[in-house]
Structure 1
């Protein structure tokens, strides 16, 4: 039923019964077909870092999990309850850019254009299904170990819409890749079956040295150290695998994605950490979860990540250069 509803909705857009609105500001959409866990936020951060050198950028998100409604801009005192954990993570890392949340992306773009005329590029976070906005570039993410072509529409799988709708993408970025040979990439692309107009990129995660949640300058080497992992994300298996390879994972404390932590949760976490830890154990969390956990008295370290992205088959081609060209050419 879910797939049929989204399919009918897409047909209404395809036949202009539901209308897509164009804007003078250039827009790039980043999204996926699957619910959660494809690495959207790290990829948006990657684009911010590389495109902000030549553009005045704003990031617009729905602000999933926030307690507010309507258009809200991030400010230095914003909380996850006001704008959502992922937008807050981006706002905290890139204080020089505008981060805004709004259910209505068209309203958000119009508000930004009116109040911030210097902005000339907007990144639409998690907007692949938000077809009311015409975008200059549509970027679709799919996880290497959980590609959309092996999945099914909810409730039988984790797809938000039928897999064949990948045809709407201009770029397909394969995320969370292990080290791959040229043949492995080629085999994956064969199964992916991109259209002639689609560019395919492969990306991998780079984990960096954890830092103390109260002081980013105080980093910790966790090689061969005992760690307990605390997360509230869609899929933490990639992090667990990484930690298993460099440290001793004493335990994993997991909550559902976008979980709002309470004092009761913190008490349970503290008790479990005390049971699991050995001498000098480190309690580790993600940057996304740190946005909500910072207010609580926990001895947390934060595991930051970055990503690398390469075009297939020309690995030397930088995605930011490709984006610059394609956005400029799109009228």
Structure 2
């Protein structure tokens, strides 16, 4: 059946190719801004680990510059431009922006479908903003960022994929030419130098492009509501309840930590209902063993927190597993300098 989708993939790829050519030739207008704008995105549909990479850049920059993030706010229950405040929820601004807002309250977080309009609105609301991080904006070409970062999943490299619906690419593989930096994400933590070199040869970055490799690092569990550390007695039975594009890396991590791990999967960016809370409670209760715990992701947590009443009614404790990215082969400083060098062409260096 999938083969029957190939003609539609060719047609969609042609449409995207024409659209990109129109932007490349100036037939469609792309707006540039005077301040540093860094776009992080991917060629494929979801699941590349984009969010922890954006968080990495927030941590890198926020102590030196006034940083703002701008996202579309995918699957939110609102529309238009919104600047996050103390009353914002995942329903208002989307789960990923809400995650940024909750973890980094000292930066500006906003959402807007039309980024070329949202950036001036952001600068009007927060005129001292120095750096804007565009979340998931690789195909949003109406804004021309000063730096384009493209992230591709180690297990689903764009070089081995096809355009939707036959594959998972949002546009043809040659779209990677627009990137200033390519990151191969979710690599094995002990990726060998020989495999790195093979991947470099396969991706074949252009002379102006930098190529980095990252892996995921999972942290200590905390209670979803109180944010206090959670200790899990061993042996433990774990129910991973989550709605993310690719739960496999987290599932594998949990299987290394705990004796028995079960997955209860929901659609990506899913908004939970009270029935779902009851289902999670029952699934956990039915698992074998005496020590049981429900674990979810940070992205799911901001959506689950919309149902505080149902969680309290079910007396359901959920632990959150945080995740960060780590650069392989000791290249974190190279990436950091790459980012600071770009910003330094527009703004004074930190400390000056």
Q: Same fold (TM over 0.5)?
A: yes
TM category, shorter = over 0.9
- 2:116 and 2:220 map into 1 onto residues whose CA distance is 39
The residue correspondences of 1:74-89 to structure 2 (distance < 5 A) are: 74-89=84-99
Which residue does the alignment assign to 2:278? 267
Q: Which has the higher helix share?
A: 2
Give CA-to-partner distance per residue, 1:178-200, whole Å, 9 cap, x none. Answer: 02121111111111111011000
Measured in 1, the distance between the counterparts of 2:34 and 2:304 equals 39
Deviation per residue, 1:144-168 (Å, 9 max, x gap)? 1111001100000000000111010
- Decide whether the 8 Å contact of 1:142 with 1:173 is kept in 2: yes
1:323 corresponds to which residue? 339
Alpha-carbon distance in structure 2 between the residues aligned to 1:43 and 1:258: 18
Hey, what's the Cα distance between the residues in 2 that align with 1:184 and 1:224?
36
Per the normalisation by structure 2, the TM-score is: 0.90
Q: Aligned pairs, how many?
A: 329
Partner of 1:306: 324
Q: Which residue of 2 aligns with 1:195?
A: 206
1:251 aligns with 2:262: yes
Correspondent of 2:124 among 109, 114, 139: 114
Provide the rounded CA distance (Å) in 1 between the counterparts of 2:332 and 2:148. 22
Deviation at residue 73 of structure 1 after TM alignment: 1.0
CA shift digits 1:229-258 (9 cap, x unpaired): 001000001111111112123410000101
TM-score, scaled to structure 1: 0.95
CA contact (8 A) 2:220 2:229 kept: no
Distance in 2 between residues matched to 1:77 and 1:262, nearest whole Å? 21
Task: Rate the CA distance shift 1:5–1:151 in 2: closer, same or farther, 3 A.
Answer: same
- SS of 2:183's partner is strand
CA distance, structure 2, for counterparts of residue 174 and residue 221 of structure 1: 33
Q: Counterparts of 1:222 and 1:28 in 2: how far apart (Å)?
A: 43
CA contact (8 A) 2:36 2:346 kept: no
Q: Conserved in 2, the CA contact under 8 Å of 1:227 and 1:282?
A: yes
CA contact (8 A) 2:30 2:144 kept: yes
The structure whose residues are more often strand, as a share, is: 1
Distance in structure 1 (CA, Å) of the matches to 2:227 and 2:137? 31
CA distance in 1, matches of 2:233, 2:67: 35
Q: Supply the distance in 2 between the matched residues of 1:64 and 1:316 (Cα, whole angstroms).
A: 29
How much has 1:322 moved relative to structure 2? 1.3
Structure 2: segments with no counterpart, 5+ residues: 1-10, 348-352
* Whole-Å separation in 2 of the counterparts to 1:111 and 1:96: 19
